[in-house]
Amino acid sequence: MNFVLSDYHAAKKEEFRRFAETEIDRGEHYPRENLQKAAARGYMGLPLPREWGGQGEDFLTYTLLIEELSRVCASTGAILAVHTSVGTFPLLYFGTDLQKKRYLAGLAHGELLGAFALTEAGAGSDAAALNTGAKAVNGGYLLNGCKLFITSGGEADLYTVFATVDRRRGHKGISAFLVEKGLPGLTAGKSEKKMGLNRSSTTEIRMEDVHVPASNRLGQEGAGFHIAMSLLDGGRIGIAAQGLGLARAALDYTTAYLKEQEISGQKPGQSAAFTLADLATRLEAARLLVYRAAAVKESGKKCSREASMAKYYATDLAVAVATRCIDLCGIPAAGSAGPLAGYFCDAKATQIYEGTNQIQRIVVARELLNG
Ligand code: COS
Protein backbone atom coordinates (compact mmCIF):
# COMPACT_ATOMS: atom_id res chain seq x y z
CA MET A 1 0.00 0.00 0.00
CA ASN A 2 1.39 3.35 -1.00
CA PHE A 3 0.24 6.54 0.68
CA VAL A 4 2.35 8.95 -1.33
CA LEU A 5 2.06 9.77 -5.00
CA SER A 6 4.57 7.94 -7.17
CA ASP A 7 7.26 10.11 -8.80
CA TYR A 8 5.30 9.81 -12.04
CA HIS A 9 2.02 11.01 -10.55
CA ALA A 10 3.77 13.77 -8.58
CA ALA A 11 5.37 15.02 -11.81
CA LYS A 12 2.02 14.94 -13.64
CA LYS A 13 0.37 16.84 -10.79
CA GLU A 14 3.10 19.47 -10.99
CA GLU A 15 2.63 19.69 -14.78
CA PHE A 16 -1.13 20.23 -14.30
CA ARG A 17 -0.55 22.81 -11.55
CA ARG A 18 1.79 24.80 -13.77
CA PHE A 19 -0.60 24.55 -16.72
CA ALA A 20 -3.56 25.72 -14.61
CA GLU A 21 -1.65 28.59 -13.01
CA THR A 22 -0.09 29.90 -16.19
CA GLU A 23 -2.63 29.14 -18.92
CA ILE A 24 -6.09 28.97 -17.37
CA ASP A 25 -7.99 32.22 -16.98
CA ARG A 26 -10.45 32.91 -14.16
CA GLY A 27 -12.72 35.19 -16.18
CA GLU A 28 -16.48 35.25 -16.18
CA HIS A 29 -17.45 34.11 -19.67
CA TYR A 30 -17.75 30.52 -20.95
CA PRO A 31 -14.14 29.23 -20.76
CA ARG A 32 -13.77 28.28 -24.42
CA GLU A 33 -10.11 29.29 -24.60
CA ASN A 34 -9.30 27.25 -21.49
CA LEU A 35 -10.86 24.19 -23.08
CA GLN A 36 -8.95 24.78 -26.33
CA LYS A 37 -5.69 25.00 -24.39
CA ALA A 38 -6.55 21.82 -22.49
CA ALA A 39 -7.38 20.10 -25.79
CA ALA A 40 -4.05 21.17 -27.31
CA ARG A 41 -2.30 19.29 -24.48
CA GLY A 42 -4.43 16.17 -24.87
CA TYR A 43 -6.23 16.81 -21.58
CA MET A 44 -9.74 16.37 -23.06
CA GLY A 45 -9.00 12.69 -23.54
CA LEU A 46 -6.43 12.10 -20.82
CA PRO A 47 -7.64 8.71 -19.52
CA LEU A 48 -8.71 7.38 -22.92
CA PRO A 49 -6.63 4.61 -24.51
CA ARG A 50 -4.20 5.79 -27.18
CA GLU A 51 -5.86 3.56 -29.76
CA TRP A 52 -8.96 5.75 -29.43
CA GLY A 53 -7.11 9.04 -29.57
CA GLY A 54 -6.52 9.52 -25.84
CA GLN A 55 -3.36 9.87 -23.77
CA GLY A 56 -3.63 6.46 -22.13
CA GLU A 57 -3.25 7.90 -18.61
CA ASP A 58 -4.79 6.21 -15.59
CA PHE A 59 -7.79 7.43 -13.61
CA LEU A 60 -5.67 8.88 -10.79
CA THR A 61 -3.82 11.09 -13.28
CA TYR A 62 -7.18 12.33 -14.59
CA THR A 63 -8.28 12.99 -10.98
CA LEU A 64 -5.13 15.06 -10.39
CA LEU A 65 -5.89 17.08 -13.53
CA ILE A 66 -9.41 17.93 -12.31
CA GLU A 67 -8.07 18.88 -8.87
CA GLU A 68 -5.47 21.26 -10.29
CA LEU A 69 -7.82 22.82 -12.86
CA SER A 70 -10.53 23.34 -10.26
CA ARG A 71 -8.11 25.05 -7.91
CA VAL A 72 -7.79 27.79 -10.53
CA CYS A 73 -11.15 27.66 -12.38
CA ALA A 74 -13.75 25.25 -11.04
CA SER A 75 -16.04 25.80 -14.05
CA THR A 76 -13.32 24.63 -16.42
CA GLY A 77 -12.74 21.64 -14.13
CA ALA A 78 -16.48 20.88 -14.14
CA ILE A 79 -16.82 21.01 -17.93
CA LEU A 80 -13.77 18.83 -18.45
CA ALA A 81 -14.84 16.33 -15.77
CA VAL A 82 -18.33 15.96 -17.21
CA HIS A 83 -16.98 15.74 -20.76
CA THR A 84 -14.61 12.94 -19.78
CA SER A 85 -16.34 10.79 -17.22
CA VAL A 86 -19.97 10.89 -18.28
CA GLY A 87 -19.60 12.42 -21.75
CA THR A 88 -16.87 10.19 -23.21
CA PHE A 89 -16.67 7.07 -21.03
CA PRO A 90 -20.19 5.96 -22.08
CA LEU A 91 -18.74 5.25 -25.52
CA LEU A 92 -15.55 3.70 -24.26
CA TYR A 93 -17.33 1.30 -21.89
CA PHE A 94 -20.56 0.60 -23.73
CA GLY A 95 -20.08 1.69 -27.35
CA THR A 96 -19.86 -0.64 -30.32
CA ASP A 97 -16.70 -0.47 -32.43
CA LEU A 98 -18.64 1.52 -35.00
CA GLN A 99 -19.83 4.05 -32.40
CA LYS A 100 -16.31 4.35 -31.01
CA LYS A 101 -14.84 4.92 -34.46
CA ARG A 102 -17.41 7.59 -35.15
CA TYR A 103 -17.03 9.67 -31.99
CA LEU A 104 -14.19 8.72 -29.65
CA ALA A 105 -11.21 10.36 -31.31
CA GLY A 106 -13.18 13.60 -31.75
CA LEU A 107 -14.09 13.59 -28.05
CA ALA A 108 -10.55 12.70 -26.98
CA HIS A 109 -9.07 15.53 -29.07
CA GLY A 110 -11.64 18.02 -27.79
CA GLU A 111 -13.07 18.58 -31.27
CA LEU A 112 -16.35 17.27 -29.85
CA LEU A 113 -17.70 18.09 -26.41
CA GLY A 114 -19.66 15.40 -24.55
CA ALA A 115 -22.62 15.78 -22.17
CA PHE A 116 -24.89 13.56 -20.08
CA ALA A 117 -28.66 14.04 -20.12
CA LEU A 118 -30.36 12.16 -17.28
CA THR A 119 -32.04 14.67 -14.95
CA GLU A 120 -35.63 15.82 -15.47
CA ALA A 121 -38.09 17.96 -13.53
CA GLY A 122 -39.58 14.88 -11.86
CA ALA A 123 -36.43 12.76 -11.90
CA GLY A 124 -33.48 14.34 -10.12
CA SER A 125 -32.42 12.22 -7.17
CA ASP A 126 -34.93 9.56 -8.20
CA ALA A 127 -33.33 9.08 -11.60
CA ALA A 128 -35.35 5.94 -12.42
CA ALA A 129 -38.56 8.02 -12.50
CA LEU A 130 -37.56 9.72 -15.77
CA ASN A 131 -40.29 10.41 -18.26
CA THR A 132 -38.53 11.11 -21.56
CA GLY A 133 -39.90 8.55 -23.98
CA ALA A 134 -38.15 6.55 -26.69
CA LYS A 135 -40.62 5.09 -29.18
CA ALA A 136 -39.31 2.42 -31.52
CA VAL A 137 -39.93 3.37 -35.15
CA ASN A 138 -38.56 2.01 -38.40
CA GLY A 139 -34.78 1.97 -38.14
CA GLY A 140 -34.58 3.82 -34.85
CA TYR A 141 -36.33 5.69 -32.05
CA LEU A 142 -38.28 8.91 -31.64
CA LEU A 143 -37.27 10.74 -28.46
CA ASN A 144 -39.69 13.08 -26.72
CA GLY A 145 -39.15 14.84 -23.40
CA CYS A 146 -37.24 17.50 -21.56
CA LYS A 147 -33.98 17.21 -19.62
CA LEU A 148 -32.98 19.74 -16.96
CA PHE A 149 -29.73 21.20 -15.61
CA ILE A 150 -27.59 19.64 -18.32
CA THR A 151 -23.94 20.62 -17.96
CA SER A 152 -22.62 21.90 -21.31
CA GLY A 153 -26.17 22.07 -22.67
CA GLY A 154 -26.12 23.99 -25.94
CA GLU A 155 -22.31 23.76 -26.12
CA ALA A 156 -22.01 19.98 -26.35
CA ASP A 157 -21.79 18.10 -29.64
CA LEU A 158 -22.87 14.73 -28.30
CA TYR A 159 -25.37 13.96 -25.54
CA THR A 160 -25.83 10.60 -23.86
CA VAL A 161 -29.59 10.77 -23.36
CA PHE A 162 -31.54 8.43 -21.10
CA ALA A 163 -35.12 7.67 -22.13
CA THR A 164 -37.67 4.98 -21.41
CA VAL A 165 -39.06 2.61 -23.97
CA ASP A 166 -41.67 1.45 -21.47
CA ARG A 167 -42.54 3.50 -18.37
CA ARG A 168 -44.32 0.55 -16.74
CA ARG A 169 -41.01 -1.28 -16.45
CA GLY A 170 -39.41 1.36 -14.19
CA HIS A 171 -35.62 1.42 -14.39
CA LYS A 172 -35.63 -1.71 -16.56
CA GLY A 173 -37.36 0.27 -19.33
CA ILE A 174 -34.59 2.86 -19.60
CA SER A 175 -32.19 2.89 -22.54
CA ALA A 176 -29.26 5.16 -23.43
CA PHE A 177 -28.90 6.97 -26.76
CA LEU A 178 -26.13 8.94 -28.43
CA VAL A 179 -27.77 12.12 -29.64
CA GLU A 180 -25.89 14.53 -31.87
CA LYS A 181 -26.26 18.29 -31.62
CA GLY A 182 -28.22 19.71 -34.54
CA LEU A 183 -30.69 16.84 -34.94
CA PRO A 184 -34.13 18.18 -35.92
CA GLY A 185 -36.31 18.59 -32.82
CA LEU A 186 -33.41 18.93 -30.38
CA THR A 187 -33.15 22.33 -28.70
CA ALA A 188 -31.26 23.75 -25.75
CA GLY A 189 -32.83 26.37 -23.46
CA LYS A 190 -30.95 29.38 -22.19
CA SER A 191 -28.18 28.89 -19.68
CA GLU A 192 -29.38 28.83 -16.05
CA LYS A 193 -28.15 31.56 -13.73
CA LYS A 194 -26.56 29.52 -10.99
CA MET A 195 -25.04 30.24 -7.61
CA GLY A 196 -21.69 28.70 -8.54
CA LEU A 197 -19.80 27.15 -11.46
CA ASN A 198 -21.21 30.05 -13.41
CA ARG A 199 -18.86 29.88 -16.35
CA SER A 200 -20.23 26.49 -17.34
CA SER A 201 -23.39 26.29 -19.38
CA THR A 202 -26.33 24.51 -17.69
CA THR A 203 -29.50 24.27 -19.76
CA GLU A 204 -32.68 22.43 -20.51
CA ILE A 205 -32.53 20.04 -23.44
CA ARG A 206 -35.87 19.64 -25.21
CA MET A 207 -36.60 16.79 -27.59
CA GLU A 208 -39.59 16.78 -29.90
CA ASP A 209 -39.73 13.75 -32.17
CA VAL A 210 -35.95 13.58 -32.36
CA HIS A 211 -35.15 10.65 -34.60
CA VAL A 212 -32.15 8.65 -33.40
CA PRO A 213 -31.01 5.73 -35.55
CA ALA A 214 -30.97 2.33 -33.85
CA SER A 215 -27.20 2.28 -34.41
CA ASN A 216 -26.98 5.14 -31.86
CA ARG A 217 -28.55 3.20 -29.01
CA LEU A 218 -25.84 2.61 -26.44
CA GLY A 219 -25.90 -0.87 -24.97
CA GLN A 220 -28.92 -3.13 -24.85
CA GLU A 221 -32.46 -1.87 -24.72
CA GLY A 222 -33.32 -1.59 -21.02
CA ALA A 223 -29.68 -1.38 -19.88
CA GLY A 224 -29.72 2.43 -19.62
CA PHE A 225 -30.13 2.72 -15.84
CA HIS A 226 -27.19 0.42 -15.14
CA ILE A 227 -25.14 2.40 -17.64
CA ALA A 228 -26.05 5.70 -15.98
CA MET A 229 -25.30 4.47 -12.47
CA SER A 230 -21.96 2.91 -13.32
CA LEU A 231 -20.86 6.05 -15.17
CA LEU A 232 -21.86 8.24 -12.25
CA ASP A 233 -19.57 6.22 -9.96
CA GLY A 234 -16.57 7.45 -11.97
CA GLY A 235 -18.09 10.90 -12.48
CA ARG A 236 -18.42 11.43 -8.74
CA ILE A 237 -14.68 10.93 -8.22
CA GLY A 238 -14.11 13.85 -10.60
CA ILE A 239 -16.49 16.02 -8.57
CA ALA A 240 -14.67 14.96 -5.40
CA ALA A 241 -11.43 16.11 -7.05
CA GLN A 242 -13.10 19.46 -7.71
CA GLY A 243 -13.85 19.69 -3.99
CA LEU A 244 -10.17 19.08 -3.24
CA GLY A 245 -9.09 21.79 -5.68
CA LEU A 246 -11.54 24.32 -4.27
CA ALA A 247 -10.66 23.54 -0.64
CA ARG A 248 -6.98 23.96 -1.45
CA ALA A 249 -7.60 27.23 -3.25
CA ALA A 250 -9.42 28.67 -0.23
CA LEU A 251 -6.83 27.40 2.22
CA ASP A 252 -3.87 28.64 0.13
CA TYR A 253 -5.44 32.09 -0.16
CA THR A 254 -6.16 32.30 3.55
CA THR A 255 -2.73 31.06 4.61
CA ALA A 256 -1.08 33.68 2.38
CA TYR A 257 -3.41 36.36 3.75
CA LEU A 258 -2.67 35.49 7.37
CA LYS A 259 1.08 35.45 6.66
CA GLU A 260 0.81 38.93 5.15
CA GLN A 261 -1.09 40.11 8.22
CA GLU A 262 1.67 38.73 10.40
CA ILE A 263 4.33 40.59 8.42
CA SER A 264 2.41 43.81 8.95
CA GLY A 265 2.35 43.14 12.68
CA GLN A 266 -1.05 41.44 13.15
CA LYS A 267 -0.09 37.97 14.29
CA PRO A 268 -3.01 35.51 13.89
CA GLY A 269 -4.31 34.34 17.25
CA GLN A 270 -4.15 30.76 18.49
CA SER A 271 -7.74 30.13 17.53
CA ALA A 272 -7.01 31.06 13.88
CA ALA A 273 -3.91 28.84 13.92
CA PHE A 274 -5.92 25.90 15.29
CA THR A 275 -8.58 26.40 12.62
CA LEU A 276 -5.98 26.43 9.86
CA ALA A 277 -4.37 23.26 11.20
CA ASP A 278 -7.72 21.56 11.45
CA LEU A 279 -8.73 22.45 7.88
CA ALA A 280 -5.38 21.35 6.48
CA THR A 281 -5.66 18.00 8.30
CA ARG A 282 -9.19 17.37 7.02
CA LEU A 283 -8.04 18.27 3.52
CA GLU A 284 -5.33 15.59 3.71
CA ALA A 285 -7.94 13.06 4.87
CA ALA A 286 -10.18 14.02 1.94
CA ARG A 287 -7.27 13.66 -0.47
CA LEU A 288 -6.65 10.09 0.72
CA LEU A 289 -10.30 9.20 0.18
CA VAL A 290 -10.36 10.72 -3.31
CA TYR A 291 -7.09 9.17 -4.51
CA ARG A 292 -8.14 5.82 -3.08
CA ALA A 293 -11.47 5.96 -4.92
CA ALA A 294 -9.53 6.70 -8.12
CA ALA A 295 -7.26 3.71 -7.46
CA VAL A 296 -10.23 1.38 -6.90
CA LYS A 297 -11.84 2.64 -10.12
CA GLU A 298 -8.58 2.08 -11.99
CA SER A 299 -8.41 -1.49 -10.64
CA GLY A 300 -11.65 -2.26 -12.48
CA LYS A 301 -13.52 -3.15 -9.27
CA LYS A 302 -16.92 -1.62 -8.45
CA CYS A 303 -16.21 1.69 -6.76
CA SER A 304 -19.70 3.01 -5.84
CA ARG A 305 -19.02 3.14 -2.11
CA GLU A 306 -15.54 4.67 -2.40
CA ALA A 307 -16.70 7.20 -5.01
CA SER A 308 -19.69 8.30 -2.94
CA MET A 309 -17.62 8.58 0.26
CA ALA A 310 -15.02 10.65 -1.58
CA LYS A 311 -17.64 12.85 -3.27
CA TYR A 312 -19.54 13.83 -0.18
CA TYR A 313 -16.56 14.11 2.13
CA ALA A 314 -14.44 16.25 -0.22
CA THR A 315 -17.24 18.54 -1.40
CA ASP A 316 -18.70 19.01 2.11
CA LEU A 317 -15.17 19.83 3.17
CA ALA A 318 -14.77 22.37 0.36
CA VAL A 319 -17.84 24.24 1.65
CA ALA A 320 -16.59 24.02 5.24
CA VAL A 321 -13.10 25.24 4.28
CA ALA A 322 -14.45 28.16 2.24
CA THR A 323 -16.80 29.11 5.09
CA ARG A 324 -14.11 29.01 7.78
CA CYS A 325 -11.66 30.87 5.53
CA ILE A 326 -14.21 33.66 5.11
CA ASP A 327 -14.46 33.80 8.92
CA LEU A 328 -10.67 33.92 9.24
CA CYS A 329 -10.06 36.61 6.63
CA GLY A 330 -12.99 38.78 7.61
CA ILE A 331 -15.26 40.78 5.36
CA PRO A 332 -12.69 43.10 3.70
CA ALA A 333 -10.61 40.20 2.39
CA ALA A 334 -13.47 37.81 1.80
CA GLY A 335 -15.79 40.32 0.15
CA SER A 336 -16.41 40.66 -3.55
CA ALA A 337 -12.82 41.81 -4.23
CA GLY A 338 -11.36 38.51 -3.01
CA PRO A 339 -11.91 35.01 -4.39
CA LEU A 340 -13.29 33.34 -1.25
CA ALA A 341 -16.96 34.03 -1.96
CA GLY A 342 -16.48 32.49 -5.41
CA TYR A 343 -14.85 29.38 -3.93
CA PHE A 344 -17.76 29.07 -1.51
CA CYS A 345 -20.36 29.31 -4.29
CA ASP A 346 -18.51 26.85 -6.55
CA ALA A 347 -18.07 24.43 -3.63
CA LYS A 348 -21.79 24.59 -2.86
CA ALA A 349 -22.53 23.50 -6.44
CA THR A 350 -20.22 20.49 -6.12
CA GLN A 351 -22.31 19.25 -3.19
CA ILE A 352 -25.31 19.12 -5.48
CA TYR A 353 -24.42 17.91 -8.95
CA GLU A 354 -23.79 14.33 -10.11
CA GLY A 355 -25.94 13.20 -7.20
CA THR A 356 -26.55 15.33 -4.12
CA ASN A 357 -24.50 14.54 -1.05
CA GLN A 358 -27.64 13.11 0.54
CA ILE A 359 -27.78 10.59 -2.34
CA GLN A 360 -24.10 9.74 -1.76
CA ARG A 361 -24.91 8.93 1.86
CA ILE A 362 -27.77 6.70 0.69
CA VAL A 363 -25.36 4.80 -1.60
CA VAL A 364 -22.88 4.27 1.27
CA ALA A 365 -25.57 3.33 3.80
CA ARG A 366 -27.19 0.83 1.40
CA GLU A 367 -23.87 -0.91 0.91
CA LEU A 368 -23.40 -1.13 4.67
CA LEU A 369 -26.92 -2.33 5.38
CA ASN A 370 -27.45 -4.60 2.38
CA GLY A 371 -23.90 -5.72 1.69
N1 COS B 1 -23.60 0.50 -11.01
C2 COS B 1 -24.31 -0.38 -11.77
N3 COS B 1 -25.60 -0.69 -11.49
C4 COS B 1 -26.17 -0.10 -10.43
C5 COS B 1 -25.49 0.83 -9.62
C6 COS B 1 -24.14 1.11 -9.94
N7 COS B 1 -23.43 1.98 -9.20
N8 COS B 1 -26.32 1.27 -8.65
C9 COS B 1 -27.50 0.62 -8.84
N10 COS B 1 -27.40 -0.18 -9.90
C11 COS B 1 -28.43 -1.10 -10.43
C12 COS B 1 -28.91 -2.04 -9.34
O13 COS B 1 -28.07 -3.17 -9.26
C14 COS B 1 -30.31 -2.39 -9.80
O15 COS B 1 -30.23 -3.34 -10.82
P16 COS B 1 -31.25 -4.59 -10.94
O17 COS B 1 -32.63 -4.07 -10.78
O18 COS B 1 -30.97 -5.16 -12.27
O19 COS B 1 -30.91 -5.51 -9.82
C20 COS B 1 -30.76 -1.11 -10.45
O21 COS B 1 -29.58 -0.35 -10.78
C22 COS B 1 -31.64 -0.26 -9.56
O23 COS B 1 -30.92 -0.02 -8.38
P24 COS B 1 -31.58 0.68 -7.12
O25 COS B 1 -32.83 -0.07 -6.75
O26 COS B 1 -30.54 0.87 -6.09
O27 COS B 1 -32.02 2.08 -7.74
P28 COS B 1 -32.82 3.27 -7.12
O29 COS B 1 -33.91 3.66 -8.04
O30 COS B 1 -33.18 2.98 -5.69
O31 COS B 1 -31.76 4.50 -7.20
C32 COS B 1 -30.00 5.92 -6.48
C33 COS B 1 -30.55 4.49 -6.59
C34 COS B 1 -30.81 6.80 -5.54
C35 COS B 1 -28.61 5.74 -5.92
C36 COS B 1 -29.97 6.56 -7.90
O37 COS B 1 -31.27 6.89 -8.35
C38 COS B 1 -29.11 7.80 -7.98
O39 COS B 1 -27.89 7.71 -8.04
N40 COS B 1 -29.74 8.99 -7.98
C41 COS B 1 -29.01 10.23 -8.21
C42 COS B 1 -28.96 10.52 -9.67
C43 COS B 1 -27.85 11.46 -10.00
O44 COS B 1 -26.73 11.31 -9.56
N45 COS B 1 -28.17 12.43 -10.82
C46 COS B 1 -27.22 13.36 -11.28
C47 COS B 1 -27.28 13.37 -12.76
S48 COS B 1 -25.88 14.00 -13.52
S49 COS B 1 -25.80 15.86 -12.99
Domain boundary among 222, 241, 260: 222
Distance of CA 214 to the CA centre of its chain: 29
Q: How many domains does the chain have?
A: 3
Gap from CA of 162 to ligand 1 centroid (Å): 13
Q: Which amino acid is at 171?
A: H
| pTM confidence score | 0.97
Domain boundary among 222, 245, 279: 222
Domain boundary among 75, 108, 141: 108
* Of 89 and 336, more confident: 89
Q: Is residue 102's pLDDT more than 70?
A: yes
Residues 173 and 275 in one domain: no
Assess if residue 52 is contained within a domain: yes
Assess if residue 365 is contained within a domain: yes
Residues 131 and 210 in one domain: yes
Residues 280 and 355 in one domain: yes
Nearest residue to 141 (alpha-carbon basis) of 133, 149, 153: 133
Q: Which atom of ligand 1 is nearest to the CA of 366?
A: 26
Residues 205 and 293 in one domain: no
Residue 33 a catalytic site member? no
The pLDDT value given to residue 262: 86
Protein residue with its CA nearest to atom 1 in ligand 1: 230
Read off the pLDDT of residues 124-182 as tens digits, 9 standing for 90 and up. 999 999 999 999 998 999 999 999 999 999 999 999 999 999 999 999 999 999 999 99
Q: Is residue 337's pLDDT more than 70?
A: no
The pLDDT value given to residue 266: 86
Gap from CA of 114 to ligand 1 centroid (Å): 22
In sequence order, what DSSP letters do the residues of 228-244 get, joined into one string?
HHHHHHHHHHHHHHHHH
Q: Which atom of ligand 1 is nearest to the CA of 119?
A: 47
Residues 83 and 124 in one domain: no
Read off the pLDDT of residues 218-268 as tens digits, 9 standing for 90 and up. 999 999 999 999 999 999 999 999 999 999 999 999 999 999 988 888 888
The pLDDT value given to residue 35: 98
Assess if residue 140 is contained within a domain: yes
Question: % helix / strand / coil in the chain, to the nearest 5?
Answer: 60, 15, 25
Q: Is residue 334's pLDDT more than 80?
A: no
The pLDDT value given to residue 336: 67
Domain range spanning residue 140? 114-222
Gap from CA of 229 to ligand 1 centroid (Å): 5
Residues 136 and 99 in one domain: no
Residues 144 and 18 in one domain: no
Residues 364 and 277 in one domain: yes
Gap from CA of 226 to ligand 1 centroid (Å): 7
CATH label of the domain that carries residue 211: 2.40.110.10
The pLDDT value given to residue 267: 86
For the four alpha carbons of 216, 221, 222 and 226, in that order, the dihedral sign comes to negative
Residues 94 and 37 in one domain: yes
Residues 274 and 218 in one domain: no
With a 6 Å cutoff on the Cβ, whether 231 touches ligand 1 is: no
Read off the pLDDT of residues 215-227 as tens digits, 9 standing for 90 and up. 999 999 999 999 9
| Candidate of 93, 159, 205, 226 to mutate for ligand 1, largest count of ligand atoms within 8 Å of Cβ | 226
Catalytic residue among 57, 204, 306, 354: 354
Read off the pLDDT of residues 13-30 as tens digits, 9 standing for 90 and up. 999 999 999 999 999 999
